[in-house]
A and B are shown apart, each in its own frame.
Chain A
Amino acid sequence: MGLSERPLRILIAKAGLDGHDRGAKIIARALRDGGFEVIYTGLHQTPEMIAEAAVQEDVDAVGLSILSGAHLTLFPAVIEELRRRGGSDVLVFGGGIVPDEDVASLAAAGVARIFTPGATTQEIVAWVREHVRPRTA
Chain B
Amino acid sequence: MTKDDWLARYRKDQKRPVRFSTVSDMEVEPLYTAEDAPPDGERIGVPGEFPYTRGVYPSMYRGRLWTMRQFAGFGTAEDTNERFRFLLAQGQTGISTAFDMPTLMGYDADHPRARGEVGREGVAVSSLVDMRALFEGIRLDQVTTSMTVNCTASAVLAMYLAVAEEHGTPWTALGGTVQNDMLKEFIAQKEWICPPEPSLRIVVDMIEFCAREVPRWHAVSISGYHIREAGSTAVQELAFTLADGLTYVEAARKRGMAVDDFAPRLSFFFNLHNDFLEEVAKLRAARRLWATLMRDRFGARDPRSLRLRTHAQTAGCSLTAQQPVNNVVRVAVQALAGVLGGVQSLHTNSLDETLALPSEQAAMVALRTQQILAEESGVTNTIDPLGGSWAIEALTDRIERDARIDGLGGMVHAIELGYPQKEIAEAAYVYQQQIDRGEKIVVGVNRYQVPEEHPVELLRVPLEVEQRQAERVRRVKRERNGAQAREALARVRAAAESGENVMPPIVTAVRALCTVGEIADVYREVFGVYRDPAWV
Please give the residue numbers on chain A whose beta carbons come within 8 Å of chain B beta carbons, in ascending order.
16-22, 25-26, 28-30, 32, 38, 40-44, 46, 68-70, 72-74, 77, 97, 99-100, 116-118, 120-122
Contacts and interface: CB of A to CB of B under 8 A. Distances in A.
Given A43-B190, A46-B112, 7 more contacts: A18-B191, A26-B432, A43-B534, A74-B116, A118-B320, A120-B446, A121-B436
B508 to A, nearest CB: 28
A42 B532 contact: yes
Interface in B430-466: 432-433, 435-436, 445-446, 453-454, 458, 461, 463
Nearest to A100: B454
A80 B91 CA distance: 48
B356 A97 contact: yes
User: Chain A: interface secondary structure?
Assistant: loop
A18 B101 contact: yes
B230 A22 contact: yes
A25 B117 contact: no
Contacts of A30: 429, 432
B134 interface: no
Question: Top 7 closest A-B pairs, CB basis?
Answer: A19-B190, A73-B116, A42-B534, A42-B532, A70-B116, A69-B120, A17-B101
Given A121-B432, A121-B436, A70 B321 contact: no
B475 to A, nearest CB: 23
B46 interface: no
A116 B321 contact: yes
Contacts of A46: 112-113
User: Chain B: interface secondary structure?
Assistant: loop
Interface residues of B, number: 48
A42 B436 contact: no
B108 interface: no
Contact of B445 (A18, A72, A73, A118): A118
B425 interface: yes
B146 to A, nearest CB: 19
A41 to B, nearest CB: 7
B398 to A, nearest CB: 26
A42 B533 contact: yes
A55 B311 CA distance: 46
Contacts of B536: 25, 28-29, 32, 38, 40
Contacts of B321: 116-118
A17 B428 CA distance: 21
Nearest to A18: B101
Interface in B84-121: 101-102, 104-105, 107, 112-117, 120-121
A67 B173 CA distance: 38
A18 B121 contact: yes
B428 A73 contact: no
A68 B104 CA distance: 12
B109 to A, nearest CB: 12
Given A17-B104, A118-B321, A118-B445, A44 B121 contact: no
Given A22-B231, A121-B432, A121-B433, A69 B534 contact: no
A7 to B, nearest CB: 16
